[in-house]
Amino acid sequence: MIKREDTYPIGRITKTHGLKGEVVFNFEDDIFDRVECPYLICEVDGILVPFFMEEYRFKTDSTALVKFEDIDTVEKAQALLGSEVFFENKYIENGNAEEVSLNYFIGFTVKSADGTIIGTITGIDDQTENWLFNVETPTTDMLIPAHEDFITDINHQDKTIEMDLPEGLLDL
């Protein structure tokens, strides 16, 4: 059984396409194209279910047409409409990804170099040249630069990121 904590969201199935069961997949992360994994995980009735891909092709830079095995009619494809799509963390943890999307880190706990918990990453702000982690702390929400120079350790198992931040940054 696939557990939600072993995955991270990468997009959503939004429409059917054609008559042979293809679906339109709007994605926020193209990890499925960069890492060798034969399936995507869709949430169906609250359960995470792997669906093996026969083929996919990009329609735009954030949309792909996907044909899953055993989904060969419009009716079967319609059952997936609105499903959130996930990618399994183990494919990234095994070193198969050269570059992990920052969306992967949503839900990770941020700790300072001395081990103090700062907060939890709730989102990524990619609207500027320097991307930022949206971090929820017990008292406020803050933005922390998501720069590799500040990240000293990543523990995929515990879902923690240790950061050595410039003095005073957390006080802003």
**pLDDT band, residue 100 (cuts 50/70/90):** low
pTM score of the predicted model: 0.65
Asked whether the predicted pLDDT for residue 98 surpasses 70, the reply is no
Contacts of 128 (CB under 8 A, 6+ apart): none
Q: Do 41 and 81 belong to one domain?
A: yes
Q: Do 92 and 127 belong to one domain?
A: no
Average pLDDT over residues 118-140: 88
Tell me the CA end-to-end span of the chain in Å, nearest whole number.
43
**DSSP character for 142?**
E
Q: Do 119 and 58 belong to one domain?
A: no
Q: Do 54 and 81 belong to one domain?
A: yes
pLDDT score of 96: 47
Q: Do 75 and 156 belong to one domain?
A: no
Element (H, E) at 34: helix 31-34
Average pLDDT over residues 138-146: 89
% residues pLDDT > 90 (the chain): 49
Asked whether the predicted pLDDT for residue 168 surpasses 90, the reply is no
**DSSP character for 71?**
-
| pLDDT tens by residue, 31-79 | 888 888 899 999 999 999 999 999 999 999 899 999 999 999 999 999 9
Q: Do 79 and 135 belong to one domain?
A: no
Q: Do 8 and 91 belong to one domain?
A: yes
SS3 45: coil
For 40: left if phi > 0, alpha if psi spans -120 to 50, otherwise beta; the answer is beta
Task: Report the domain count for the chain.
Answer: 2
Q: Do 87 and 131 belong to one domain?
A: no
Q: Which two tokens stand for residue 69?
A: 């095995």
Give the whole-angstrom CA distance, residue 95 versus residue 29.
17
Q: Which two tokens stand for residue 53?
A: 């891909």
CATH (domain of 123)? 2.30.30.240
Question: In terms of residues, how long is the chain?
Answer: 172
Residue ending a domain, among 70, 96, 122, is 96
Q: Do 91 and 106 belong to one domain?
A: no
The residue type of 114 is D
Residue ending a domain, among 47, 77, 96, is 96
Domain with 11, as residue range(s), is 4-96
